[in-house]
Amino acid sequence: MRLAEPFYQLPVLFDIERLQAEVAALPAEAWGSHPDKLSGNSAARLISAGGAETDSVHGQMLATPWLAAMPYARQVLAGFGVVWSRSRLMRLAPGARVPEHADINYHWHTRVRLHIPIHTRPQVRFHCDGQSVHMAAGEAWIFDNWRRHHVVNGSDADRIHLVADTTGTAAFWRFACDRPPPRAQWRVMPWNPDAAPRLLTESDQRFPIMPAAEVQWLIDDLRAELTTAVDTSDARLRMSRFDLLLESFVQDWRQLCALHGVGGRARSDFVRLAEAVRQAAAPLAAGLVMRTNNAGALLVLEKRVLQHLVVADEARA
């Protein structure tokens, strides 16, 4: 999700000793490798599709057995009053890093990632769009992951953050982005052994066919960010043609939705249109990038839109 600033620190603090104790109690089998197999990166799944050992961002999100064994972590998440998507403990080994990247996938168009550091040292630095912060243990942060960012663990100990994805309520966004009060007035969330809060988790958000209004929204956002990596007459011409292709695609998709609806009928017609746009875009997109993060326009089109237009029957079973 695009934010006005690279980083926001939320005015709330947590019982870090309790969180650390719950993390320490997890068995070794709770931890698995990073989905992208990044060296020195591992994770324990807390909320996942079906509560299973999966990193999918699609499906009914449920607490895993590991989160069930962490009652204070559940209180922390429930205390924000938002609906949570995929959420994990993310561990970064001593000297390891998360390479620079921007999160361009469809999942991130409407979601932000909350970070709550549990184990960290001052040598752990989070970099985003030229700015750098140390997120201290027991704090809460969000950042603009559409911008390019990376993390470096320059310490000799593991860094472990609780990271949780949400679209956020209006109250959450006011709490996160308004000018914070003095730190002495920040909310503190204590451990309550008698509390049993309700944890809100995402249902499966996908339609069999993406509605035309959402396609319009995604494409309009892409077109607004479109620019040339190098300003030449040829690049400007290709950008103009690429932009027209996207506009035409939205018009044709809207007509198919008007004819067939979004329940999955005539799926093959939608697939053919998506494939035609994919093929037509490829020769036009060279040297076209996103203004904010320099991500390739074709890659963004593919990952943020085309891969998610049509959901196969078996994916919804």
Which pLDDT band holds residue 36 (cuts at 50, 70, 90)? confident
Instruction: Tell me how many degrees the CA angle 164-39-87 measures, rounded to the nearest 5.
Output: 10
Contact 187, 242 (CB under 8 A): no
Q: Is 30 buried (19+), middle (13-18) or exposed (0-12) by CB count in 10 A?
A: buried
pLDDT tens-digit map of 4-27:
999 999 999 999 999 999 999 999
Residue type at position 290? M
pLDDT tens-digit map of 146-163:
999 999 999 999 999 999
4 to each of 7, 78, 147, 177, how far by Cα in Å? 9, 26, 11, 9
pLDDT at 317: 37
Place of tokens 């203004």: 291
92 to each of 112, 124, 304, how far by Cα in Å? 20, 10, 27
β-partners of residue 136 are none
Place of tokens 């999966």: 54
Contact 8, 115 (CB under 8 A): no
**Residue among 111, 306, 5, 210 nearest 297 (CA):** 306
β-partners of residue 63 are 47
Q: How many residues make up the chain in this entry?
A: 317
- How much is the mean pLDDT over the chain? 96
Domains and CATH numbers, the chain: 7-189 (2.60.120.330), 212-316 (no CATH)
pLDDT at 314: 47
d(CA 62, CA 108): 19
Instruction: Tell me how many degrees the CA angle 219-115-146 measures, rounded to the nearest 5.
Output: 20
> Global pTM?
0.94
**How far is C-alpha 49 from the chain's CA centre?**
15
Span 177-193, average pLDDT: 96
Asked if residue 315 has pLDDT above 80, the reply is: no
d(CA 90, CA 19): 14
